[in-house]
Copies of this chain bind each other. A is one copy, B any other.
Amino acid sequence: MEFRTKLTLFSLLLLSANASDNGLALTPQMGWNTWNHFGCGISEDTILSAANAIKQHELDKLGYNYVLMDDCWHAPARDPSTNAPVADPEKFPNGVKDLSDKIHAMGLKFGIYSSAGTKTCAGRFGSLGFEEIDAKTYAEWGVDYLKYDNCNNEGRAGTPLISYERYNNMSMALNATGRPILYSMCNWGEDGPWNFAPNIANSWRISGDIYDNFARYDDRCPCTSMLDCKLAGFHCAAARIIDFAAPVGQKAGTGHWNDLDMLEIGNGGMTHDEYVAHFTMWAILRSPLILGNDVTNMSNDTLSIITNQALIAVNQDPGTGPANRIWKKEVFTGDGDISLWQGSLQNNVFVVAVMNTSPHNQTVDILMEDAFLDQGAAYQAQPYEFFDLWQKDSNGNWGKSIGTVQGKFSVTVNT
């Protein structure tokens, strides 16, 4: 068997599991966010145009139902009498409540952004010390989702408890509103949020900001592991974030997810195969899938990647969690690596992926002994029907059966 992408992905079918939790994000949230493509250049129009594009492309039917307004929606200052947050009256002449109503009228959900600091990352007023009034106002505005950033935290980081308390203050404030608001922590993996965030948030970022590049090391994302990283930074390539995610998958599950950051598909910095690998790994690692491109102007290629229903089904499989990395092997010293990942879905379906970050084509044997390491000998010995999730079946649906495998199979993963 040979495959032509940077990543080889299979789904394997055999036999049943289930779990549940109350509240939101029972499966990872999906949607679109203004930041990666528009940065501070947002307005009511930007957001409504994107919402219209989501409806037009029926992305919401696939699960992309959160429309998220990131940084720079703010007026220069809070309301001087009440301290309530105020939106920029020029960018949002009808106010945030009106925007939220329009989004809701389209059957979509609406999200907002703030920072657990004195200012946001772009220098707007932050929520540190204003958690209650902010949460209350968001609820009044009909907000369904809060992305809560980490800039300008005034030294309130460096030990788990200090980060926990800063983020828990907003968690409690959101809960106190009585409105269900998905709480998306964005503290860049500082102080090990996977250890404390599951009890207070629906998702937490695990690294510095992604940039539109597959595997390049950049000095601005300096840590080689996030377990005790003191400068999360930004310009983290997709493959580096995947590395960061490998040990912490164990901490995610129903209602609380590792957030690998927003998707870059369609922003132009990676090849088709790299974007396929990016989308696949985000999906099987159960990251929130938040589009970061201009959805009003997408190529067919971009659209085809982000609408792979088979991968979305893996990402949204209920009651199950992230894939694990079974092994990772350096190909040539300092030259990238090849790795095997496996995840369990409901009903004895499994997903297996092989990723190659090196500039060399790689042919490897995948042993069922490895792929079913966690499941044990009985599973390792079974035959499996294989589906290639990046091929379409005869009905034009993603996921084509490519035969039965037992014991092992060989794959070639291109550069």
- Specify which chain B residues have a CB less than 8 angstroms from the CB of A228 in the assembled complex: 228, 230
Are A250 and B220 within 8 A (Cβ)?
yes
Chain A interface (Cβ < 8 Å from any Cβ of B): 118-119, 152-165, 168, 191-192, 194-196, 198-199, 219-220, 222-223, 225, 227-231, 233-234, 246-250, 268-269, 324-325, 328, 376-377
Chain B residues near A246: list those with CB within 8 A.
219, 222
The answer to whether B160 touches A161 (Cβ under 8 A) is no
Are the C-beta atoms of B247 and A219 separated by less than 8 Å?
yes
Q: Check A230–B227 contact: CB distance below 8 A.
A: yes
* Contact of A163 with B155 in the complex, beta carbons under 8 Å: yes
Closest to A247 in B: B222
Task: Give every chain B residue within 8 A of A118 (Cβ-Cβ).
Answer: 199
Q: Do A324 and B219 have beta carbons less than 8 Å apart? A: yes
Contact of A161 among B155, B223, B233, B269 (CB under 8 A): B155
Residue of B nearest to A161 (CB): B155
A376 to B211, CA, bound (A): 12
The answer to whether B160 touches A160, judged by C-beta atoms less than 8 angstroms apart, is no
Complex Cα spacing A165 to B158, Å: 14
Check if B164 sits within 8 Å of A154, measured CB to CB.
yes
- Given contacts A154-B196, A161-B162, A219-B325, whether A247 and B227 have CB atoms under 8 Å apart is no
Q: How far is the CA of A163 from the CA of B161 in the complex (A)?
A: 11
Residues in B neighbouring A222, C-beta threshold 8 A: 225, 227, 246-247
A18 CB → nearest B CB, Å: 14
Which chain B residue has the least Cβ–Cβ distance from A221?
Answer: B247
Decide if A234 touches B219 in the complex (CB within 8 Å): no
| In contact, B219 and A233 (Cβ under 8 angstroms) | no
Bound-state CA distance A269–B374 (Å) is 10
By the criterion CB–CB under 8 Å, are A233 and B247 in contact? yes
Q: What residue of chain B has the Cβ atom nearest to residue A159's Cβ?
A: B158
Tell me which residues across on chain B come within 8 A of A161, comparing CB atoms: 155-158, 162
In the complex, 28 of the A-B residue pairs with CB atoms within 8 angstroms, ordered by the A residue number, are: A152-B199, A154-B199, A155-B160, A155-B161, A155-B168, A155-B196, A156-B160, A157-B161, A158-B160, A158-B161, A158-B192, A159-B159, A161-B162, A192-B230, A194-B231, A220-B247, A220-B250, A220-B324, A222-B225, A222-B246, A222-B247, A227-B231, A228-B230, A231-B247, A231-B248, A233-B247, A234-B250, A268-B376
Question: Which residues on B sit within 8 Å (CB–CB) of A154?
Answer: 164, 168, 196, 199
Could you say which residues of chain B place their CB within 8 Å of the CB of A162?
Answer: 161
**Cβ of B220 and Cβ of A227 under 8 Å apart?**
no
Residues from chain B with Cβ under 8 Å of A160 in the complex: 155-158
Q: A223-B227, A233-B247, A324-B219 are in contact. Are A165 and B159 (CB under 8 A)?
A: no
Smallest CB-CB A-B distances: 5 pairs: A155-B164, A222-B247, A158-B160, A155-B196, A155-B161
In the assembled complex, the CB of A327 is this many whole angstroms from the nearest CB of chain B, namely 9
| Most-contacted residue by chain B among A152, A219, A234, A248 (CB, 10 A) | A219
Q: Please name all residues of chain B whose beta carbon is closer than 8 Å to the beta carbon of A196 when the two chains form the complex.
A: 153-155
CA distance A161 to B248 in the complex (A): 25
Q: Which B residues are CB-close (under 8 A) to A234?
A: 250
* A247 / chain B contacts, CB cutoff of 8 Å: 219-220, 222, 231, 233
Least distance between A14 CB and chain B CB atoms (Å): 20
Of all chain B residues, the one with the shortest Cβ separation from A166 is B155
User: How far does the alpha carbon of A222 sit from the alpha carbon of B246 in the complex, in Å?
Assistant: 9
